[in-house]
């Protein structure tokens, strides 16, 4: 039997040097955006009970979850999503806090992708959840945080905004089974016009079927609202479009670079979304680098109903984008290599600590001889060695 002790599981990878520095840069940058806006960091367990992600309300298929049992035989999963654990946390330990509650996180999620198609089973997300606040003020607050976070990390992004209620209202007007409706949703989301038309051609025709047929084409600027209004006169859809138009115009005043788009075909799989939904993309990455939306009914599943909205940023995707663009956080050599002569090892360590306290980046030599220390410094790009003995001597390597 071949051992797998020298490889990583499919869908995972090791991150080295510049990759790690770039990821940490993104995490720090976005965390600073969140904390400056009043959000407080939380961390949820990497292991959660399966019930937290019940597919009946989470929209997360059990097939994508990594599952196991605890010592009592209870089914647990590796965290496939951060919003649901934070909803659990809010409904239990934070239920008595004054509303709204502003939380942010930076932690990995785990999802099984049998087909892989370049996707990672383990990825780091950072995001926010604004809980206990509804309405346009809360929506704009979260959307503006997304715009700021993206703008500081990946200039050139595109933010697409839609509304979960638009597709849901149309879907309620056609009599199809759950499996067929999921096929419709998937075809709209992937903008697979041929597949969508094939499904809808077999249904009784009418204004709602026609609206579903046009849904993936309702993408662009403010002209989308007029095109959508002409498709269907349902009062609920009209209200949804009016609200979305107001959000779009307000957000466009904040972000005037033309990166904000309307996409009424934005019908994400997560069933807990109830209102505005949004995604962000960059040219170098095929999938969304940010996903979010309003989920006003989710906390009710945990016994504490309240409105809520949030989003998650794929840190690994943004890091890959920056690395592909050549925006690398370089691995810089140490400022000084400190080498202690025989008998002066402790003094060298104390001297190293003193230099570090002054803001210098110092490495302590583990070599027996000064010549070996010099050779190592030269190959590592370190331009200065401080040799510690009875006196301290500085050797500059040019």
Q: What is the C-alpha separation between 26 and 30, in angstroms, rounded?
A: 6
- Give the pLDDT of residue 26: 96
Q: What is the C-alpha separation between 281 and 284, in angstroms, rounded?
A: 9
Q: Where are the domains of the chain?
A: 17-325, 336-396
**Is 41 labeled as ligand-binding?**
no
Q: What is the residue whose two structure tokens read 């590592």?
A: 380
| CATH number assigned to the domain covering 17-325 | 3.30.930.10
**Is 208 labeled as ligand-binding?**
no
Q: Out of 79-88, 239-248, 263-272, which region has the weakest mean confidence (pLDDT)?
A: 263-272
Per-residue pLDDT at 264 exceeds 80: yes
Answering whether pTM is above 0.85, one says yes
More confident residue, 364 or 255: 364
**Is 50 labeled as ligand-binding?**
no
pLDDT mean across residues, the chain: 90
For 17-50, the pLDDT digits (tens) are 999 999 999 999 999 999 999 999 999 999 999 9
- Give the pLDDT of residue 62: 87
**Is 48 labeled as ligand-binding?**
no
Per-residue pLDDT at 213 exceeds 90: no
CATH architecture of the domain formed by 336-396 = 3-Layer(aba) Sandwich (3.40)
- Give the pLDDT of residue 116: 54
**Is 82 labeled as ligand-binding?**
yes
Q: What is the C-alpha separation between 380 and 378, in angstroms, rounded?
A: 5
Q: What is the C-alpha separation between 360 and 349, in angstroms, rounded?
A: 14
**Is 357 labeled as ligand-binding?**
no
Q: Out of 205-219, 276-290, 326-340, 353-367, which region has the weakest mean confidence (pLDDT)?
A: 205-219
For 273-291, the pLDDT digits (tens) are 899 999 999 988 888 999 9
pLDDT > 90 fraction of the chain, expressed in percent and rounded: 63
- Give the pLDDT of residue 59: 79
Q: What is the C-alpha separation between 395 and 375, in angstroms, rounded?
A: 12
- Give the pLDDT of residue 167: 82
Q: What is the C-alpha separation between 377 and 336, in angstroms, rounded?
A: 9
**Is 223 labeled as ligand-binding?**
no
Question: Band of the pLDDT at 115, cuts 50, 70, 90?
Answer: low
Helix, strand, or coil (residue 76): strand
Question: Band of the pLDDT at 383, cuts 50, 70, 90?
Answer: very high
For 122-132, the pLDDT digits (tens) are 999 999 999 99
**Is 273 labeled as ligand-binding?**
yes
Among 173-177, 196-200, 260-264, 372-376, top mean pLDDT goes to: 372-376
């Amino acid at each position: 039997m071949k051992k797998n002790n020298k490889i990583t599981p499919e869908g995972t990878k090791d991150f080295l040097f510049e990759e790690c520095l770039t990821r940490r840069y993104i995490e720090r940058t976005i965390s600073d955006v969140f904390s400056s806006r009043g959000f407080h960091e939380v961390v949820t367990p990497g292991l959660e009970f399966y019930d937290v992600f019940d597919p009946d309300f989470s929209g997360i298929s059990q097939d994508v979850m990594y599952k196991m049992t605890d010592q009592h035989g209870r089914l647990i999963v590796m965290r496939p999503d951060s919003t649901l654990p934070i909803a659990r946390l809010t409904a239990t330990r934070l239920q008595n806090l004054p509303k709204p509650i502003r939380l942010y996180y930076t932690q990995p999620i785990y999802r099984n992708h049998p087909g892989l198609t370049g996707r990672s089973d383990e990825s780091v997300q950072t995001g926010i959840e604004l809980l206990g606040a509804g309405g346009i003020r809360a929506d704009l607050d979260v959307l503006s945080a997304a715009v700021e976070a993206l703008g500081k990390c990946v200039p050139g992004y595109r933010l697409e905004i839609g509304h979960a209620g638009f597709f849901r209202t149309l879907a309620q007007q056609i009599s199809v089974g759950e499996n067929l409706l999921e096929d419709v949703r998937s075809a709209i989301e992937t903008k697979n016009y041929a597949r969508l038309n094939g499904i809808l051609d077999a249904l009784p025709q009418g204004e709602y079927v026609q609206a579903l047929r046009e849904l993936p084409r309702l993408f662009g600027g403010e002209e989308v609202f007029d095109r959508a209004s002409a498709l269907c006169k349902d009062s609920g859809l009209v209200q949804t479009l009016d609200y979305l138009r107001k959000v779009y115009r307000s957000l466009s005043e904040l972000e005037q670079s033309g990166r904000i788009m309307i996409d009424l075909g934005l019908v994400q799989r997560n069933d807990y979304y109830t209102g505005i939904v949004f995604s962000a993309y960059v040219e170098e990455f095929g999938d969304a680098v940010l996903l979010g939306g309003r989920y006003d009914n989710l906390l009710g599943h945990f016994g504490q109903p309240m409105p809520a909205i949030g989003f998650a940023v794929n840190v690994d995707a943004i890091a890959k984008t920056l690395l592909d663009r050549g925006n690398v956080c370089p691995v810089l050599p140490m400022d000084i290599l400190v080498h202690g002569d025989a008998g002066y090892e402790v003094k060298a360590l104390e001297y190293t600590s003193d230099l570090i306290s002054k803001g210098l980046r110092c490495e302590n030599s583990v070599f027996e001889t000064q010549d070996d220390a010099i050779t190592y410094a030269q190959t590592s790009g370190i331009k200065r060695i401080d040799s510690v003995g009875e006196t301290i001597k500085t050797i500059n390597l040019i």
